[in-house]
Structure 1
Amino acid sequence: MANPVMPNGIKPVVAGYSMDEPGGVLRTDVAGGIPRYGMDWDRGVQRFKVTLILDALQFSIWTAFYHHVIRKGSITFDMQLDSGFGVVPHAVNILPGSYTAARTGGIMIVVSFTAEAESDVYDMSAADGSELVDIYNLYGSGLNAFFDRLGRFATFESNVLDFGL
């Protein structure tokens, strides 16, 4: 069964958006030496601080979604987040005790909470990640232009070659 999805038009604001690290790294002090670091686990969720600025209608829709559809964040739902590769859907839960809603001096309501989600970086393999870094080291800030040009060649210009497929 698919996850519930955030109601249309309700999106986090950029200014109140941040994330922390996914954890899984241990640090052990060593007497008279450099501390030792090691992996305890890989992957893991990150916490995203999310702010929604809603008008009265959006707030009523959000409140119904929050209480009845996602059961106060205990049911995983899909939300548009940027964990490093652009804004894409992430499966999230709301961290208990992090939800607040406050009416501003006007008619807007500011809803804030901490969402936990796994970064979409794990959709690529470790080899893909290393290759991406290698390509960046080769092209630098021109990497986006390279990918745009490659995409144009692969989806449009190569069609004139008529591979006989």
Structure 2
Amino acid sequence: MTFCPSCGKEFTVDENFCSGCGKPRFSQTSSYAGRPTGITVLGILQIILGIILVISTVMVGVMSGMMGNYSYFGEMTSVVGGAITAILAVLAAFSFLIASALFSGKKWGRTIVIVFSIVNLVMEAASLAVGNVFGIAGIMLNGIVLYYMWRPHVIAYFTK
């Protein structure tokens, strides 16, 4: 199964030219059929998010440990801070795992990105409904990611 590099339409077995845009199926120059650029961008963004989460994990862990008994709430600060630290550490590990799946073309990586985009789309729509105008940007970004993840060349990358 091959796709047109210009419009993404699937070629039939006997086609030498794309029926969608007219481009030739085989070019004179060799084409690189590697990872799509958008997947590389999403993977890099996941790595950046993971790094930010690791830094946040260390900061929350250190601050909650320093607060300890000196806080107005006593040891409860350390307990809550420890729980938040654990959650941030799990999220950081999960972010690096998703980046790895995107870079290696694992099918479940695409599925997770689609599911998270849908969940974020619903959450942004809910925040927009209560008056958060910045939800518009989130809706647009998640819509773009969802559209991109359903492009034929992206689907082909994850089914190789």
Q: Flag the structure with higher strand content.
A: 1
Q: Flag the structure with higher helix content.
A: 2
Give your verdict on TM over 0.5. Answer: no
What's the TM-score once normalised by structure 1's chain length? 0.26
What's the TM-score once normalised by structure 2's chain length? 0.26
